[in-house]
Amino acid sequence: MPGIRIYLSHPLQELADRWIADTSDDLKGADLFHPLRVIVPNRNMKRWLQMYMARKGIVAAHIRFQYVEDGIRSLLEGIAGEYNPQVLRPLDLQGRILHLLLQDLKSDSPLWPLLTQRGAHPSKQDSGEESLRIFQLSQRMTDLFTNYEYHRVGTLEDWREIDSDLTLDVFADSKFDDSLAADGLFEEQRKLYRAATVEYGKDEQKLNLSVLHADRVPVSEYARRVLKGDVKKGEAPTVYLFGLSLLSRYHISLIRHLSDHYSFRAYLPDLVPGLFKRSANENGEQWSPIEFTAEFRPENDLFAGWKKSFAELLGLLETAFLGRIEWYGRNSDRTYPLGRFHDALLKGSINPITDRIHIGCCPGERREVETVYQCILQAMMDDPTLELTDIAVLVPDMEHYRPYILDVFERDRTSVDRPLVPYNLSDYSAARESHFASGVRALFQLIRGDFTRSEVFELLYNPCCQHAIGIDRETVAEWLRLFDDAGIRRFFDAADRSAQVGTPTDGERSDAFTFLRGLRSLYLGMFLEPDDLLSDGLRPHSLFLVDRTALLKLIDFVQRLYQWQQELKREFTGRERFDKTMEFIDAFLSIPASNNEEQEVRDHMESELRLYDLRLFKDFTLLEQAVLASLTGIAGGRGHYLAGGVTVCSLQPMRPVPFRHIYIAGLGEGQFPPREDRSTLNLLSRDPSVSAGGLPHSNIATGEKARLLLYETLLSATDRIVLLYNGRDTTRDRELLPCSPLNELISYLKKADSPKTEDLVEHLPLKLYSRQYTGRNSYLFCNLSRPDIRLLNLSSTRTPPPPSPSLAAGTKVDQPLATDIQIAHLISFLRHPVEAVIKRQMRLYDSRIEDDSLHDDEPFHITDEEIWGMSSLVIERALMLMSEGTSNSAGTAINDAVSSIQSEFADRLPVPPYDEIALKKYRSPDFIELLEMAGPILHSHPFKRIRLADGSAVQVNVKGRSIRLTGEIPFLSYADGHATILHVTDRNFTNRVLFPLLFQLLVLERTRSFRWHSFTICIIAIKNGKTQLLQYANNPERTLRSTYIEDLLDEYLAGDLNYLPLRLDLLSKDMWKSDFFDTAVGDAIRRRLEDEALESEVDFMDLLRVIPPRIDDDILSRMRKRWEPIVTLSIPVDDGSSRKGKSTDKTAEKQSRTQSKKQAEKQAEKQPAKSSKKQSKKGSKS
Per residue in 911-962, pLDDT (tens digit) is 666 667 777 778 888 888 888 898 888 888 888 888 888 777 888 888 778 8
CB atoms within 10 A of CB 1000: 25
pLDDT tier, 207 (very low <50, low <70, confident <90, very high otherwise): very low
Distance CA 260, CA 2 (A): 6
pLDDT tier, 307 (very low <50, low <70, confident <90, very high otherwise): confident
Angle at 500 between CA 495 and CA 505, to 5 degrees: 75
Q: Which 8-state DSSP code applies to residue 35?
A: P
Provide CB contacts within 8 A for 366, sequence distance 6+. 404, 407, 408
pLDDT in tens, 757-810: 557 899 998 887 777 776 667 888 887 666 666 656 655 555 556 655 654 554
Provide long-range contacts, Cβ within 8 A and 24+ apart, for 456-459: 456/558, 456/561, 457/483, 459/561, 459/588
pLDDT score recorded for residue 848: 41
pLDDT tier, 1144 (very low <50, low <70, confident <90, very high otherwise): very low
Mean pLDDT over the full length of the chain: 79
pLDDT in tens, 376-389: 998 998 999 999 99
pLDDT score recorded for residue 7: 96
pLDDT score recorded for residue 161: 86
| % of the chain with per-residue pLDDT over 90 | 24
Q: Domain 4-80+231-333 is of which CATH architecture?
A: 3-Layer(aba) Sandwich (3.40)
What backbone phi and psi angles, to 5 degrees, belong to 1000? Answer: -60, -35
pLDDT score recorded for residue 631: 87
- The whole-model pTM stands at 0.67
Mean pLDDT calculated for residue range 180-188 = 90
Provide CB contacts within 8 A for 921, sequence distance 6+. 927
CATH topology of 4-80+231-333 equal to that of 357-424+647-791? yes
In this structure, are residues 561 and 580 in contact, taking their beta carbons and an 8 Å threshold?
no
pLDDT score recorded for residue 716: 94
Q: Which helix (H) or strand (E) holds 719?
A: strand 717-726
Distance CA 134, CA 141 (A): 10
What backbone phi and psi angles, to 5 degrees, belong to 501? Answer: -120, -5
pLDDT tier, 732 (very low <50, low <70, confident <90, very high otherwise): confident
pLDDT score recorded for residue 213: 65
Residue 696: asked if its preceding bond is cis (omega within 30°), the reply is yes
Distance CA 1046, CA 1043 (A): 5
Q: Which helix (H) or strand (E) holds 965?
A: strand 961-975
pLDDT tier, 293 (very low <50, low <70, confident <90, very high otherwise): confident
Sign of CA dihedral 1002, 1008, 1012, 1017: negative
Sign of CA dihedral 122, 123, 129, 131: positive
Q: Which 8-state DSSP code applies to residue 976?
A: T
Mean pLDDT calculated for residue range 423-446 = 86
pLDDT tier, 753 (very low <50, low <70, confident <90, very high otherwise): low
**Cβ-based burial of 203 (10 A; exposed 0-12, middle 13-18, buried ≥19):** exposed
Sign of CA dihedral 1055, 1057, 1062, 1064: positive
Mean pLDDT calculated for residue range 284-313 = 75
| Domain at 435-633: CATH code | 1.10.486.10
Q: Which of 660-674, 685-699, 734-748 has the lowest mean pLDDT?
A: 685-699
What backbone phi and psi angles, to 5 degrees, belong to 816? Answer: -60, 150
Q: Concatenated DSSP letters for 1081-1143?
A: -HHHHHHHHHHHHHH-SS-HHHHHT-S-----TTHHHHHHHHHHHHHTSEEEE-SSTTSTT--
**Residue 91 scores a pLDDT above 80:** yes
| % of the chain with per-residue pLDDT over 70 | 77
What backbone phi and psi angles, to 5 degrees, belong to 922? Answer: -75, -10
For 908-932, b where at least 16 C-beta lie within 10 A, e where not — what string?
ebeeeeebeeebeebeeeebbbbbb
Q: Concatenated DSSP letters for 672-685?
A: SSPPP---TT-TTT
**Residue 576 scores a pLDDT above 90:** yes
**Residue 581 scores a pLDDT above 80:** yes
pLDDT score recorded for residue 1105: 45
Distance CA 1180, CA 255 (A): 80
pLDDT tier, 850 (very low <50, low <70, confident <90, very high otherwise): very low
Distance CA 331, CA 72 (A): 32
Distance CA 184, CA 113 (A): 10
pLDDT score recorded for residue 811: 47
**Residue 857 scores a pLDDT above 50:** no
What backbone phi and psi angles, to 5 degrees, belong to 714? Answer: -60, -35
Q: Which of 222-231, 910-919, 1139-1148 has the lowest mean pLDDT?
A: 1139-1148
Residues in the chain: 1182
Mean pLDDT calculated for residue range 601-624 = 90
Mean pLDDT calculated for residue range 85-113 = 88
- Which residues are 636's β-sheet partners? 428
Angle at 94 between CA 91 and CA 97, to 5 degrees: 155
pLDDT score recorded for residue 1009: 81
pLDDT score recorded for residue 482: 87
Domain boundaries, the chain: 4-80+231-333, 90-226, 357-424+647-791, 435-633
**357-424+647-791: CATH homologous superfamily?**
P-loop containing nucleotide triphosphate hydrolases (3.40.50.300)
Q: Which of 208-222, 766-780, 936-950, 1134-1148 has the lowest mean pLDDT?
A: 1134-1148
For residue 65, give the 3-state DSSP assignment.
strand
Cα 475 from chain centre: 46
pLDDT score recorded for residue 802: 63
- Which residues are 231's β-sheet partners? none
Distance CA 515, CA 491 (A): 6
Mean pLDDT calculated for residue range 594-616 = 89
pLDDT tier, 266 (very low <50, low <70, confident <90, very high otherwise): very high
In this structure, are residues 251 and 72 in contact, taking their beta carbons and an 8 Å threshold?
yes
Mean pLDDT calculated for residue range 746-754 = 75
